[in-house]
Amino acid sequence: MGSDEGFILASASPRRIELLESAGLVFDREVSLAVEDEFSGGDPADFALAQAIKKAAAVAQRRPGRWVLAADTVVVAGSEVLGKPRTTEEAHRMLEMLSGRAHRVITGFAIIRHGEDSGVFKTVTSEVVFKELLREEIEGYAATREPFDKAGGYAIQGRAALFVKEVRGSYTNVVGLPLAEVVDELHRLGIARAFGAVRP
């Protein structure tokens, strides 16, 4: 089931690219042309996984014989799924919702090969606790424009690191890819090894 050709990351996300490269993995990159859906209800974990499968499938169909990895991350505050803010006002609202409370970050990831029955379909959940944010902090952070392409309106690896009191679970999951879980599955499928690690 393994492949000497490695795998394709179906993403243009610099954060996911950097995480995989930090593990010493060699891979190709190809942007998925799948249109991302808006969350319309149901289980956020199911939604994130469905989006990841959709992204991976779009690339796998164009690259038969190659394993494709894709992921999708959502932020859940209470019962609301927070997408990527499109305006300063939306960024303010999201940060106000996250201020002084815990929220969940869920990443669904899929590793598939076109025409292959087996594959990987998993979700990983982390909990993040924010400190109480001052209005000046919210306005100042939104003004950096960093929130605008991030689920939940913040980047934990960026300036928003100052807002985070605690992370329960995978930190890399909050960045955008649960690295330990993904690498374990790549090993299991025989697709790639990190730092030359060999699985028994």
pLDDT in tens, 152-192: 999 999 999 999 999 999 999 999 999 999 999 999 998 87
- For residue range 101-156, what is the model confidence (pLDDT) as tens digits? 999 999 999 999 998 878 999 999 999 999 999 999 999 999 999 999 899 999 99
**Angle at the Cα of 177 from the Cα atoms of 124 and 30, rounded to 5 degrees:** 130
The β-bridge partners of 123 are 108
pLDDT digits (tens, 9 = 90+) for 16-67: 999 999 999 989 999 998 888 788 889 999 999 999 999 999 999 999 999 9
Alpha-carbon separation of residue 67 from 62, 126, 186 (angstroms): 11, 26, 10
Prediction pTM value: 0.91
In whole angstroms, what is the distance from residue 106 CA to residue 191 CA?
A: 24
**Domains, the chain, with CATH or none:** 7-189 (3.90.950.10)
Is 43 among the catalytic positions?
no
Select which of 28, 37, 43, 72 is catalytic: 72
Distances from the Cα of 128 to the Cα of 115, 118, 162, 167, angstroms = 38, 33, 13, 5
Backbone angles phi, psi at 106, to 5 degrees: -120, 125
